[in-house]
Amino acid sequence: MYAQTQDQEEWLDKIFRSSVNAGSEVEYVDAIPVPLPFRKAIRYRRQAQFHPTRYVAALAAAFERAGGRIVQHCRVLDFEQQAEMLRVNSSAGLLEARNLVWATHIPPGINLLHFRCAPYRSYAIAVKLSDDAYPDALAYDMFDPYHYYRTQEVDGQRYLIVGGEDHKTGHEVNTEKCFASLEAYTRNHFAVAEVTHRWSSQYFEPADGLAYIGHLPGNPHNVYVATGYSGNGMTYSHIAALTLTDLIVRGVSGYAKLLAPGRVKPVAGFMDFVKENADVVAMFVGKRLKAGNLQEFSELAPGEGRLVKIDGHNVALYKDQNGKLFALNPVCTHAKCVVDWNNAEQSWDCPCHGARYSITGEVLTGPARARLEQIDLEDL
């Protein structure tokens, strides 16, 4: 981690002292592994890097060898408690369990954590370098939004991965600009031969900087949650596994108080809000709208989405590459916020709690449970 301004130097010194107090092996260094100017830098020793999806696949295989079962393509709809058991209704049928853990990015429905976790989008590109000067460490700058750099080797091929340009979900009008800015910044500092991959991801930022791991407030004692990972999923997943295993098996954990989701107190009127929004009723309920010859249709480019007014109603409108129009009720089915278009991911994103929908309204990312309502347009 390196500082490039005086203010960043002061902040870096605080990070260094905190890291030492926490027992990390950290030291000041005179060089960094990336070709950028800096004023001061620190290095953390005893770090590891591994292939995340291959690692998860190996964990899944070990879980099944131990007798576990993994059900895929199965959406949990709701659950109810009967005595000591939980009856879980899913798209694949009825499941029963003594404990339920929401390890799902953020739990669905309406609950306290949606108001204490801010959804963010983060961007990354993978590039090949013409000079083979791949860094031998993970490096972070301290700007906001930040940049990070690391080398990834896949099947003998090396790539430089550069990430950053984070913003709150649904709060950036031109998401393609985030990729363009990231690529321009990378080309300005590295000998880029080609950009091979690009992607964005979503994470949830907790109110006080620590993840929420433990009993889910407002639920039975045997319902747990792990969320608010701040983009540090591989680290927090292990902390969550240790903490939740202890809570379920022994009833206690050394991390329980520190990470308890219940440490965040409800705001005034929260329970009334939950009751009011538990089941969001669609505004249109199958209504057909007379579109007429609206200028918005002719101005909409293929592959573009936009919020428009039709017959006095707000409509999320998308035109595909063949000129076909898709119209949706733009009111998020989670908590009634209005979605906005994400041109980089070709999705409708909710700026309030991070729900994301496809061009046809299917849920891509929770906490929404129900799809956006489709609208029929007449006279087109």
Q: pLDDT of 6-19, one tens digit each?
A: 999 999 999 999 99
Question: Residues 336-358: pLDDT tens digits?
Answer: 888 989 988 898 998 888 889 99
> Rounded mean pLDDT of 291-295?
52
The residues near 325 (Cβ < 8 Å, ≥ 6 apart) are: 297, 300, 317, 318, 319, 377, 380
Residue 275 has pLDDT above 70, yes or no: no
> What is the pLDDT, as a whole number, of residue 164?
92
What are the structural domains of the chain? Answer: 1-47 (no CATH), 53-91 (no CATH), 288-378 (2.102.10.10)
User: 268 pLDDT band (50/70/90 cuts)?
Assistant: low
Taking the C-alpha atoms of residue 297 and residue 323, their distance in angstroms, rounded to an integer, is: 10
Q: Of the given ranges (29-33, 57-61, 190-194, 284-288), which has the lowest mean pLDDT? A: 284-288
> What is the pLDDT, as a whole number, of residue 334?
85
DSSP conformational letter for 331: B
Question: Residues 206-265: pLDDT tens digits?
Answer: 888 899 999 999 899 999 999 999 989 889 999 999 999 999 999 999 999 999 998 876
> Rounded mean pLDDT of 69-84?
89
> What is the pLDDT, as a whole number, of residue 380?
40
What percent of the chain shows pLDDT beyond 70? 90
> What is the pLDDT, as a whole number, of residue 9?
97
Where does residue 54 rank: exposed (0-12), middle (13-18), buried (19+ CB within 10 A)? exposed
> What is the pLDDT, as a whole number, of residue 299?
73
Where does residue 46 rank: exposed (0-12), middle (13-18), buried (19+ CB within 10 A)? exposed
> What is the pLDDT, as a whole number, of residue 294?
53
> Rounded mean pLDDT of 120-140?
96
Rounded to 5 degrees, φ, ψ at 10 are -65, -40
User: Count of CB atoms within 10 A of residue 57's CB?
Assistant: 11
User: 379 pLDDT band (50/70/90 cuts)?
Assistant: very low
> What is the pLDDT, as a whole number, of residue 345?
86
Taking the C-alpha atoms of residue 40 and residue 141, their distance in angstroms, rounded to an integer, is: 11
Going by DSSP bridges, is the β-strand pair 139-140/147-154 parallel, antiparallel, or unpaired? antiparallel
CB 155 within 8 A of CB 40: no
Q: Please give the mean pLDDT across all residues of the chain.
A: 87
* Token duo for residue 78: 């709701």
The H or E element containing residue 129 is strand 117-129
> What is the pLDDT, as a whole number, of residue 322?
85
> What is the pLDDT, as a whole number, of residue 240?
97
Q: Of residues 365 and 124, which shows the higher confidence score?
A: 124
Sign of the alpha-carbon torsion through 358, 72, 104, 282: positive
Taking the C-alpha atoms of residue 172 and residue 180, their distance in angstroms, rounded to an integer, is: 14
* Token duo for residue 286: 């199958």
CB 294 within 8 A of CB 140: no
> What is the pLDDT, as a whole number, of residue 24?
95
> What is the pLDDT, as a whole number, of residue 283?
40
Q: Of the given ranges (187-201, 212-226, 291-305), which has the lowest mean pLDDT? A: 291-305
Residue 151 has pLDDT above 90, yes or no: yes
**Cα angle: 337, vertex 339, 341; to 5 degrees:** 165
Q: Residue 252 carries which side chain, given as an amino acid letter?
A: V
> What is the pLDDT, as a whole number, of residue 250?
95
Taking the C-alpha atoms of residue 349 and residue 372, their distance in angstroms, rounded to an integer, is: 11
> Rounded mean pLDDT of 159-174?
90
> What is the pLDDT, as a whole number, of residue 266?
61
